Amino acid sequence: MTRQRPAAGDGGLPAAYLRTGSSSFTDFVAEHEPSLIPSRRGLPPGGTIDAPHGTTIVTLTFDGGVLMAGDRRATMGNIIANRDMEKVFATDEFSVVGIAGTAGLAIELVRLFQVELEHYEKIEGALMSLEGKANRLASMIRGNLGMAMQGLSVVPVFAGYDLQERIGRIFSYDVTGGCYEEHDHHSVGSGSLFARGSLKKLYRPDMTPEQAVRVAVEALYDAADDDSATGGPDVGRRIWPTVALVTVEGARFVPDDQVAPVVDQIIAERVGNPGGRPGGRPGGPTAGPSGGPTGGHNAQQHEGGAR
């Protein structure tokens, strides 16, 4: 039986599309076009699927903001499915999200979340608070629980600049939609255990953005050293980690020509010393290029799906 569409209004659009309605785009879609919600598509009972998975994301606060970085590898079992996948996205002007888990579902969830925040701003005429964004993402993850129970989980990490508190903040999630604020730093994905160990040794709360970039890239390097599903810097193909900074000025991505010298320096220091600097510190001459990641891609360049 065919589902009846709402009566058409002006311009041929269904009348429901012309009313202001809820400030939640997800609720609107769930009511009028539920088939478009990723979590509404399930597998047959007992069904399984081997889909590409994103791997390691790290995030940390610094003096004046928050940073998020991700490796570029997606895996499917023991196969490298993609070498240059984007896993860190700007969700609006002052927040970013990194994805781990089933890559296709995660990217679709991010796209829906981006529209959700944009829709809220248009309807309410103001930005949603950072905690509001974190909670809204939690409810969307909770809606995916059925697919997570079938092995298609999505576990993002969310970070942004709190305009009221004037600090960078980090929020982690579990597959049930539980939302937890993390302090100082966090990591998700298959290499997160090794990345967290590196972050514990290198992190300082008073770091500059340049020092934070160095620490994040080094944590991803350490994760790739022990986790085969995490992609290390690919010097041969010139594929570098994705790095985003969020400050009071907004979200911006560090360009490859500023990430590359940091990677080169880490690799040079690891020759004959694969474990890294003893008692490593992010300061001093190894903090990264003096120019620093002050420019680069704007937030819109990394909004959306994989490259």
* Amino acid identity, position 95: S
DSSP state of 249: T
pLDDT for the residue 105: 85
Q: Is 15 exposed, middle or buried (0-12, 13-18, 19+ CB in 10 A)?
A: exposed
Active-site hit among 26, 55, 102, 242: 55
Report the topology of domain 25-29+51-270. Answer: Glutamine Phosphoribosylpyrophosphate, subunit 1, domain 1 (3.60.20)
Give residue 305's pLDDT.
42
pLDDT of residue 14: 65
Which residues share a beta bridge with 171? 158, 181
Predicted local confidence at residue 103, as pLDDT: 83
Cα 27 from chain centre: 23
**d(C-alpha 187, C-alpha 285), whole Å:** 26
User: Residue 33 half-sphere exposure, CB side, CA atoms within 13 Å?
Assistant: 9
Q: How far apart are CA 46 and CA 59, in angstroms?
A: 36
Residue 23 is classified by DSSP as S
* Global pTM value: 0.77
Stated as kind and residue range, the H or E segment containing 246 is strand 242-247
Distance CA 301, CA 259 (A): 17
- Domain range annotation of the chain: 25-29+51-270
| Contact indicator for 212, 184 with CB cutoff of 8 Å | no
Q: What is the DSSP letter of 4?
A: P
Across the beta sheet with 185-188, what order do the strands follow? 185-188, 57-62, 65-70, 242-247, 250-253, 297-298
What pLDDT is attached to residue 153?
78
CB 225 within 8 A of CB 235: no
Q: Identify the pLDDT of residue 115.
A: 92
* pLDDT tens for the chain, residues 1 to 307: 444 554 544 556 666 555 556 666 565 565 556 555 555 555 455 555 555 666 899 999 999 999 999 999 998 888 898 999 999 999 999 999 999 888 888 898 999 999 999 989 988 889 999 999 999 999 999 887 777 676 677 889 999 999 999 999 999 999 899 999 999 999 999 999 999 999 999 999 999 999 999 999 999 999 999 999 999 999 999 999 999 999 999 999 999 999 999 999 999 999 888 877 654 455 443 444 434 444 444 444 444 444 3
Our answer to whether residue 55 is catalytic in this structure is yes
Annotate 52-90 with b (16+ C-beta within 10 A) or e (fewer): bbbbbbbbbbbebbbbbbbbbbbbeeeeebbebbbbbbb
